Amino acid sequence: MTYLEKQSNPLDPVHFRGNLQADYLYTSGAAGDKFFKHIMENDSFLASECEECGTVFCPPRLYCEDCFVEIPDEKWKEVPAKGTVRLFTTAMLNTFGEPLEVPKIIGLIDIEGTDSSMLGILKTKDQKQDLTGITVEAVFRPTQEREGTLKDILYFNESG
């Protein structure tokens, strides 16, 4: 630093701990609402398809981000809650940078019948090294325990 008198005793600097009371309500929106209400009752997903470019979004959206047009109700469809693992990683650290007690395998899953992917926790039958290309299916909570959030999907399990 450029001050004439610099601190040289490391015990001198004073710190205060503080935090932010920052809690929110996250509105799921018109499209998200339908999606989450759907998975409360069904073991499948909803998707929406752009009329102009044909892109199928899952999670579904009210509008296409490429064409910037609205997607009408009749272009919504049900798709199976399964897909193909495109990418995966084994996460070893928690948000504090400490080792996770149980490492988590997270995959980017291309959802069947759509042009979209979802992040999900992966479970496999055996200890595989390479999970690329395997087919996985969402495992949901029992219907009566669902509450219409993403945590209704417990994980994605290898199919078959």
Query: Which residues contact other proteins (rule: CB under 8 A)?
Result: 1-2, 6-7, 10, 13, 15, 17-18, 20-21, 23-26, 28, 32, 36, 55, 57-59, 65, 86-98, 100-102, 104, 106, 108, 115-121, 147, 149-151
- CA pair distance 153, 155, nearest whole angstrom: 6
Nearer to other proteins, 4 or 20 (CB): 20
Burial 102-119 (b: 16+ CB within 10 A, else e): eeebbbebbbbbbebbbe
CB of 10 to other proteins, least distance (A): 8
Q: CB-based burial of residue 98 (10 Å sphere; 0-12 exposed, 13-18 middle, 19+ buried)?
A: exposed
| 67 binding Zn ion? (CB under 5 A) | yes
Which does residue 116 bind out of Zn ion, other proteins, none, counting CB within 5 to 8 angstroms by kind?
other proteins
| 47 binding Zn ion? (CB under 5 A) | no
The widest CA-to-CA distance across the chain, in whole angstroms, is 72
